[in-house]
Amino acid sequence: MPPEVPAATSIAWVTGITGYWGRNVALCLLRRGWQVVGISRSQPQELENWATAQGKKLVWYRLDLASSNWDPPPGSPQAIFHCAALFEQDLAVMMQVNVLGPIQLIEQGIQTMSRCREGGRIGVFLEQNGRIGLPGLEKFSAT
């Protein structure tokens, strides 16, 4: 269950906002009063429309974690939820999206979290299939 809204500020960065986990994490945070910076390659138009209709604060930030050179999302997060994942044959690209990109994102956000009185929260969503190493998912499991 997502944390209650911090007292002073309430910004959460959520990767993979157009995917199943990212969308649901964002919805849960928005319903609990958090401001969400949704991070993805494609715009979550339907989720943006819902947030606007409900008077919730959702900002979409286009970011492709497959790229190793990008600017941090806006805002000073008190929480980061990594929900993006890539299944592909290219291990280097999967490592960038599933491991290196999230580490870079967390390193940028953690500086803000360390100054926050309540501290910060980091969540990483993993697929059960990747964790147990099913056949055909060897490269994904490696990430």
CB-CB neighbours of 116 under 10 Å: 17
Predicted pLDDT of residue 131:
55
Domain topology for 11-142: Rossmann fold (3.40.50)
Q: How far apart are CA 101 and CA 72, in angstroms?
A: 11
Predicted pLDDT of residue 5:
46
Give 10-residue mean pLDDT values along the chain (143 residues): 53 92 93 94 94 95 87 87 78 83 86 71 64 59 58
